[in-house]
């Protein structure tokens, strides 16, 4: 089966994560599970990649993290999108539209 190339998708991991955080704050495994579900098993994000993305996003002020106890008593780090994160997400969406528009001109079936 054709696999998704991590080089290609790398630039959009941030977009994917921000999209999922727009609805509500979430934690690492839930995010990776949602990515998997929404991509219908076509994209499995690696734990290390996900964590790198979190630190990068947090460093840039697009998300913040806080610790919260889950129902089962386990303490987890939750991530929440910030206002500048929302703005960045919009920018990335526009960027993608442009990218898609350009690349598609060079794709022939």
Partner 1 sequence: METIRKYLETMFMSLPDTDAARRAKEEIMSMTEDKYNELIESGMSENEAVGKIITEFGTIDDLKDSLGAIEKGTVRRPDESFKPNETFTHGVQGIPNPPVEVKQVTYRGGKSQNRELRLISVDEANAFLDDCTFSRFLLGLGVACCIIAPTGPIMGSAISENFYGFFGDFFSALGVVFLFIAVALGVGLIILSSAKNKEWSFLRRGVSILDSVAEEYIRNEKADNISSKSTMLAMGIVLCVCSVIPVIFFGIFSIFPFLSEGVGPALIFVITGAGVFFIINSSRITDACDRLLGLNA
Residue 11 engages partner 1 in binding (rule: CB under 8 A):
no
CB of 13 to partner 1, least distance (A): 11
SS3 of the chain: the string is CCCCCHHHHHCCHHHHHHHHHHHCCEEHHHHHHHHHHHCCCCCCCCHHHHHHHHHHHHHCCCEEEEEEECCCCCEEEEEEECHHHHHHHHHHHHHHHHHHHHHHCCCCC
Q: Of these, 29, 42, 90, 91, which contacts partner 1 (CB under 8 A)?
A: 29
Segment 54-83, which members bind partner 1 (CB under 8 A)? Answer: 54-56, 58-61, 63-69, 74, 76-78, 80, 82-83
Q: State the residues that interact with partner 1 by CB under 8 A.
A: 24-25, 27-30, 32-33, 44, 46-52, 54-56, 58-61, 63-69, 74, 76-78, 80, 82-84
């Amino acid at each position: 089966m054709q696999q998704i190339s991590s080089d290609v998708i790398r630039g959009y991991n941030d977009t994917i994560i921000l999209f999922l955080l727009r609805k509500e704050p979430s934690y690492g495994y839930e995010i990776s599970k949602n990515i998997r579900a929404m991509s219908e098993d076509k994209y499995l994000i690696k734990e290390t990649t996900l964590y790198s993305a979190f630190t990068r996003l947090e460093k840039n002020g697009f998300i913040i993290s806080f610790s919260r106890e889950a129902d089962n008593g386990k303490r987890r780090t939750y991530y929440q999108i910030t206002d500048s994160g929302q703005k960045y997400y919009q920018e990335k969406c526009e960027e993608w539209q442009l990218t898609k528009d350009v690349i598609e001109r060079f794709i022939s079936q």
